[in-house]
A and B are shown apart, each in its own frame.
Chain A
Amino acid sequence: MSLLQHLSTTISSSSSAFLVHSNFNSRTKNVSLQAKRNSIFKCVAAVPKESQTAYKTNVSRNGNLAKLQAGYLFPEIARRRAAHLLKYPDAQVISLGIGDTTEPIPEVITSAMRKRSQELSTLEGYSGYGAEQGEKSLRAAIASTFYTNLGIEDDDIFVSDGAKCDISRLQVVFGADVTMAVQDPSYPAYVDSSVIMGQTGQFRKDVLKFESIEYMKCTPENGFFPDLSGVCRTDIIFFCSPNNPTGAAATREQLTQLVKFAKDNGSIIVYDSAYAMYMSEDNPRSIFEIPGAKEVAIETSSFSKYAGFTGVRLGWTVVPKELLFSDGFPVAKDFSRIVCTCFNGASNIAQAGGLACLSPEGLKAMHEVIGFYKENTDIIVETFNSLGFNVYGGKNAPYVWVHFPGQSSWDVFSEILEKTHVVTTPGSGFGPAGEGFVRVSAFGYRSNILEACKRFKQLYK
């Protein structure tokens, strides 16, 4: 089997084997390979030889896509993992890179999905198109489970096929002419979707940032909460708490500051609370716990990391009625229009699963699985602490953010992979302020977590 064939069957994103770094120029026959410091960027030529004489349409490539520097981060990690497996076919590779859940879904939830599937082959139980915004019962259950006493109503909830998809839908709502701020580091979908929408300028290689995006640095020095006094006003502010990748959970006081900042600036916060149930401490689990937030914030969340629904695909976004554009038009109306036009609802089977997740039994079962991953996180934290590293996160999120001062995070990633066969995620993949850090995910079989930690201890003793 050829390398390319093998890669395409083993890695999660087969076609991302095309490119790591694309620096396509129509006049050059070969892609210029840019050696990114010491990283290995294996690059397949952007224009296959055959197509140099091949028929080309007259349609110009979307310039926004050309601004993207490389493939999306996680398929890149998958590609590296696959390449490593080829190199060391007998190695027991342990994946603590992509935050992919590993524990089976509790039966109370899967049996609801089974039941719904079976009902679809009966006359009484068959249903066709569902409401694009989600099934009423599920919207109600989400509102009452996560937003009790916060004044969020059932119809403020929009059920989806996941937070990542919702982020892009929100970008479509906002359009190309808004400015945005992100935490630095942050989940790459915020920046990448912004580039694709045309909100940004070019990528600046000197500072490793896209023009027009306001990067709000989050580091140990500022307790992973941005110094808002130094942040320029933008229309949209993406804020994730508990944070991916740093694991930091903003305090009530910090979020109050953030809401005030948004209010004073007339900005909209897109608050990503996908990891809220991992919180150990007393921090707010929803932005709507902060008074006034309904006038300035949207919240997006997901069943992925709560219920192991990474493959099942289910999430939701809350758009309060009080949230208005500058002309007074309710944001929820445009979001609903997008949802009706560019989407057709989450799978009814996934939604049945979601409803079961929010039953008392389902919630209990989810808490158990989350507890399991949190124990994994503790083990990883303890390991790196014992090795003398500065370790962040891990308390309120299934991610451990380990500091390797002065080192290139891709180098550290490569070294760890090469020497311990453990996949992590280099911090710089999340933004320039992620440089010098590595994110270790806590999803995995206990035995793998323990084995990985054993290997870390070997490497760094």
Chain B
Amino acid sequence: MQYSQLSTRICIPYAVSLQPKTTWNRPKFNNEKSTVGHCTRVPRNANMEKLQSGYLFPEICMREFEHSQKYPQAGLIRLGVGDTTEPIPDIITSAMAEHAHALSTVQGYRGYGAEQGDTALRKAIAETFYRDVGVKANEVFVSDGAQCDISRLQMLMGPNVSVAVQDPSFPGYIDSSVIVGQAGMFQDENGKYENIVYMKCGHENNFFPDLSTTSRTDIIFFCSPNNPTGYAASRQQLQQLVEFAKANGSIIVYDSAYATYISDESPKSIFEIPGAKEVAIEVSSFSKFAGFTGVRLGWTVVPEELLYLNGFPVIKDYNRIVCTCFNGASSVAQAGGLACLSKDGYRALSAVVDYYKGNAGIIADAFASLGLKVYGGKNAPYVWVHFPGMSSWDIFSEILEKTHIVTVPGRGFGPGGEEYIRVSAFGQRERILEASRRLKNLYK
């Protein structure tokens, strides 16, 4: 089951397995000229050429696959890609099954849904997550997931905006920025794209950027609780961020996909901060909250108050993108989403979230017992482990080789991730415990 799952997640077979630092702008995929037929005269998109390698997570999959080929009996434990493992509670899957069944009846059949999402679901999202902060149902755009929404937001913003990201950060922000043409060239000397502002988040600054030294950009991507560091920004820090955005006339794209993992008083939504509605968009997802990684459901909030320089409401253009480049999330997934937000559904899902958080605690303890500095794991399903002075891909390889545990090298999330690895807390408890055992024995 594991291996077949692996092989179905591999990108196209001839995708080159890459060491992360190599570039591969090789013009000819197939070196034998005789087998290269007609070339069109369509120039390759120069922005695609700027990408340094494959997207991070398929790269990890590739490494997993190779490793499992090398050690077929190893009992690989996958704590790399943040892929949920626990079954979805019955109350939710039966809602989806029921909806699917209804589609085969005259009364229950539905064709195209509203591109912005089913009205009841939009309302439920607003009421569940934004009740006290005044976000309205019509400001909620249901989607097939945050990764997709990030790219739609990039299409919305266009190539001529400047962008800041946390460093390290979820690679979708940078990669989509490169693809849309905002990022400029990659600089080998510092591992950064020339036009992107990287806001360092390291143990030295407690994983919140020093905004006083951050240059102004049009867009600021901010993820909290953070992937990969697991850090959840405090109310005070988010107030700073909102003030910073306001002072600079910037737009924050706030990724709150892990908000339901918060254990303490950290804000769950940027809109808890007064004034945020004039400066922020929030993106979130059912993936890690409901195990919907394969079902595909998320949402984006674009407040009506958010205006471009010329006064034009951002929500209008976002709506246009959604109507033109998208056709709504699957109605079956949306039926599931509605069930997720019922009282019983939400309660059942909270138990699954707690289960993963339990995993995170076990993993954090395992690394801490090795004398390592461990971050995250409390407000997010990721543990961020520091290996001072070491290359994160080397650590990744060593852990993989010696314990058959897949993690993600911090460098994959940006230069600020060097010296760290990210360990995901998704997995069945026995596997997590087994991983913990192997790690504890690592340096014995």
For the complex formed, measure the closest distance between the CB of B149 and the CB atoms of chain A, giving whole angstroms. Answer: 10
Q: Note all chain A residues with C-beta closer than 8 A to B161.
A: 59-60, 62
Is A378 interfacial (CB-CB < 8 Å)? no
> How many A-B Cβ pairs are below 8 Å?
412
Q: In the complex, how many residues of chain A place their beta carbon closer than 8 angstroms to a beta carbon of chain B?
A: 131
For the complex formed, measure the closest distance between the CB of B381 and the CB atoms of chain A, giving whole angstroms. Answer: 13
CA–CA, A342 to B100, complex, Å? 27
* Residue of A24, A26, A102, A329 with most chain B CB atoms under a 10 A cut-off: A329
Q: Note all chain B residues with C-beta closer than 8 A to A336.
A: 11-12, 15
For the complex formed, measure the closest distance between the CB of A54 and the CB atoms of chain B, giving whole angstroms. Answer: 6
Q: Assess the B179–A327 pair: CB atoms within 8 A.
A: no
* Residue of A16, A107, A167 with most chain B CB atoms under a 10 A cut-off: A16
Q: Assess the A340–B58 pair: CB atoms within 8 A.
A: yes
Q: Assess the A57–B156 pair: CB atoms within 8 A.
A: no
Is A205 interfacial (CB-CB < 8 Å)? no
Q: Assess the B323–A72 pair: CB atoms within 8 A.
A: yes
Q: Note all chain B residues with C-beta closer than 8 A to A265.
A: 41
Q: Assess the A104–B104 pair: CB atoms within 8 A.
A: yes
Nearest residue (CB) in B for A236 is B42
Q: Note all chain B residues with C-beta closer than 8 A to A62.
A: 156-158, 160-161, 317
Q: Note all chain B residues with C-beta closer than 8 A to A40.
A: none
Q: Assess the B97–A117 pair: CB atoms within 8 A.
A: yes
Is A407 interfacial (CB-CB < 8 Å)? no
Given contacts A12-B112, A327-B27, contact A56 B96 (CB under 8 A): no
Contact among A133, A161, A266, A332 for B330, CB-based, below 8 A:
A161
Q: Assess the A110–B104 pair: CB atoms within 8 A.
A: yes
For the complex formed, measure the closest distance between the CB of B44 and the CB atoms of chain A, giving whole angstroms. Answer: 4
Q: Note all chain B residues with C-beta closer than 8 A to A189.
A: 324-325
Given contacts A12-B114, A62-B156, contact A129 B144 (CB under 8 A): no
Q: In the complex, how many residues of chain B place their beta carbon closer than 8 angstroms to a beta carbon of chain A?
A: 124
Is B239 interfacial (CB-CB < 8 Å)? no
CA–CA, A262 to B40, complex, Å? 8
Segment at the interface with A among B78-86, B196-204, B408-416 = B78-86
Contact among B87, B249, B315 for A122, CB-based, below 8 A:
B87
Q: Assess the A325–B40 pair: CB atoms within 8 A.
A: yes
Given contacts A59-B157, A60-B160, A128-B291, contact A196 B38 (CB under 8 A): no
Q: Assess the B42–A347 pair: CB atoms within 8 A.
A: no
Segment at the interface with B among A212-220, A239-247, A310-318, A419-427 = A310-318
Segment at the interface with B among A63-71, A143-151, A380-388, A392-400 = A63-71
Q: Assess the B218–A59 pair: CB atoms within 8 A.
A: yes
Is A86 interfacial (CB-CB < 8 Å)? no
Q: Assess the A196–B327 pair: CB atoms within 8 A.
A: no
Q: Note all chain B residues with C-beta closer than 8 A to A350.
A: 330, 332
Nearest residue (CB) in B for A329 is B44
Contact among A15, A74, A262, A344 for B148, CB-based, below 8 A:
A344
Segment at the interface with A among B48-56, B257-265, B353-361 = B48-56
Within 8 A of A (CB), among B1-51: 1, 5, 7-13, 15, 27-29, 36-48, 51
Q: Assess the B158–A64 pair: CB atoms within 8 A.
A: yes
Is B391 interfacial (CB-CB < 8 Å)? no
Contact among B158, B172, B294, B336 for A127, CB-based, below 8 A:
B294
Nearest residue (CB) in B for A445 is B106
Is A432 interfacial (CB-CB < 8 Å)? no
Segment at the interface with B among A173-181, A223-231, A248-256, A408-416 = A173-181
Q: Assess the A310–B111 pair: CB atoms within 8 A.
A: yes
Contact among A14, A102, A236 for B114, CB-based, below 8 A:
A14
Given contacts A58-B250, A62-B158, contact A337 B40 (CB under 8 A): no
Is A100 interfacial (CB-CB < 8 Å)? yes
For the complex formed, measure the closest distance between the CB of A350 and the CB atoms of chain B, giving whole angstroms. Answer: 5
Q: Assess the A349–B332 pair: CB atoms within 8 A.
A: yes
For the complex formed, measure the closest distance between the CB of B270 and the CB atoms of chain A, giving whole angstroms. Answer: 14
Q: Note all chain B residues with C-beta closer than 8 A to A375.
A: none
Q: Note all chain B residues with C-beta closer than 8 A to A443.
A: 111
Q: Assess the A345–B319 pair: CB atoms within 8 A.
A: no
CA–CA, A303 to B226, complex, Å? 37
Q: Note all chain B residues with C-beta closer than 8 A to A118.
A: 93-94, 97
Nearest residue (CB) in A for B16 is A333
CA–CA, A313 to B138, complex, Å? 22
Within 8 A of B (CB), among A109-133: 109-111, 113-115, 117-118, 120-133
Q: Assess the B41–A349 pair: CB atoms within 8 A.
A: no
Q: Note all chain B residues with C-beta closer than 8 A to A120.
A: 87-88, 93, 96, 291, 294-295
Q: Note all chain A residues with C-beta closer than 8 A to B92.
A: 121
Is B113 interfacial (CB-CB < 8 Å)? yes
Having A118-B93, A235-B40, A311-B110, one finds 10 other A-B pairs with CB under 8 Å, namely A15-B319, A26-B311, A48-B313, A129-B83, A132-B58, A168-B324, A322-B37, A325-B44, A341-B175, A342-B148
Name 7 interchain pairs, CB-CB below 8 A, sorted by A. Answer: A16-B323, A26-B311, A109-B104, A266-B42, A295-B40, A311-B113, A313-B328
